[in-house]
Amino acid sequence: MVSPADIYAFLKEKDVTRYVGVPDSLLKYFCAYVAEHAEEHIIAANEGNAVGIAAGQYFATGQPSVVYLQNSGLGNTINPLLSMADPSVFGIPMLLFVGWRGEPGLPDAVQHQKQGNVTESLMKGCDLDYEILPEDLDAAKECIGRALKTCINEKSPFVLLIRKGTFESFQSTSFASSHTMSREEALGAVLDALPEDACVVATTGKLSRELSELREKRGDGCGQDFLMVGSMGHCSSIALGIATSQPKRSVYCLDGDGALLMHAGSLPVIASERPKNFHHIIFNNEVHDSVGGQPTPVGTLDVPALALACGYAQAKSIKTKEDIPRTMKSFARRDGPSMLEIRIRPGARGNLTRPAFTPIQNKELFMTFLKS
Ligand SMILES: Cc1ncc(C[n+]2csc(CCOP(=O)(O)OP(=O)(O)O)c2C)c(N)n1
């Protein structure tokens, strides 16, 4: 294992001082160290956004930045990497630290397996230079030194794949929240207030896992829920597709603040379709809770004002459990699209399980429900 502090110090010696990225569970200790020590650190909306910021930093400073991400986010980087940063276009050096979820041969959740299996071939297919970061400090320093030399000389991005368990733990000061309700409590109150025939599209991360456990505990069955496991930021688009295709069905999108931000361009698209049956609920804990609790700028954003500016018909922010049924019922009586922001605290139970059914089984049950 290598310590985040040693890698950070080595990069600093080499004049690499700027960090930008989207958090990943495999990189969480490194991200936490960077968050507390780096003079320049930006948590981006999505991974393509991070590549753009790193390009601007290079133009302004002549130094490569570190872009960190989970391999799930590689897809978001491919466009700016190949059509901007590539040596055949503008030639922009940057070091990408990519958490390798789903590495072949290691157990991981199903949504990480395909991405993990093709991660190396994706690098090769995109002509991206890459190495796997060694877990021994001297070898890791040599590897980073080589990567930096290559990316600076060739004016190109260089990827360092980071295996599970590469970084030693770093205990960061925890994020101070002024909110008291947990996501699970808020979810329970939302379920109590849902219309019977409503379908639910739930976002990536722990929210979907909590939803599936709550349904099981309540004996509700799970046919009416689509539990997004990957594809972060797209659950509101899926919900829109359902809402426009089944205008009589109430559609509830249960979203996170990080996921909302990741593809916030979907908001004006949703509003422009004017789906009366579309209800967007944001569980805003102000952090990327599912991968380590790194802050999002949605903590300081006026979320209802954003929704209304995009053209949503109704929007409100609430903080208490008692407000959930009241507001949901009042929203349901009028035309959508509506957005309800529930301010909650970060954190989840340590013993949270994953759904017992596969994504394919989930899709089939959900489609059967939508036929009813
Ligand atoms: C494209 C992409 N980038 C990064 C990730 C890793 N990831 C999974 S969940 C998550 C955080 C989600 O944050 P938020 O939507 O605020 O929900 P919370 O976990 O706080 O409930 C991240 C970054 C991913 N799955 N996909």
Residues with CB under 6 A from ligand 1: 22-24, 70, 72-73, 76, 203-207, 230, 232, 256-259, 285, 287-291, 296
* Residue range 128-132: mean pLDDT, rounded: 98
pLDDT tens readout for residues 216-267 = 999 998 899 999 999 999 999 999 999 999 999 999 999 999 999 999 999 9
CA of 162 to the centre of ligand 1 (A): 18
What number does the ligand 1 atom closest to the CA of 183 have?
Answer: 21
Pocket test for ligand 1, best of 74, 227, 232, 237 (most atoms within 8 A of CB): 232
β-strand pairing of 40-43 with 225-227? unpaired
pLDDT of residue 168: 96
Tokens of 243: 């809402």
pLDDT tens readout for residues 297-333 = 998 999 999 999 999 999 999 999 999 999 999 999 9
Counting Cα atoms < 13 Å in the Cβ hemisphere of 235 gives 31
Mean pLDDT for the chain? 96
The Cα 76–Cα 114 span in angstroms is 16
pLDDT of residue 173: 76
CA of 15 to the centre of ligand 1 (A): 30
| Residues contacting 178, CB < 8 A, separation 6+ | none
CA of 290 to the centre of ligand 1 (A): 6
Confidence check: pLDDT of 176 > 90 = no
pLDDT tens readout for residues 263-307 = 999 999 999 999 999 999 999 999 999 999 999 999 899 999 999
Burial group, residue 209, by CB count within 10 angstroms (0-12, 13-18, 19+): buried
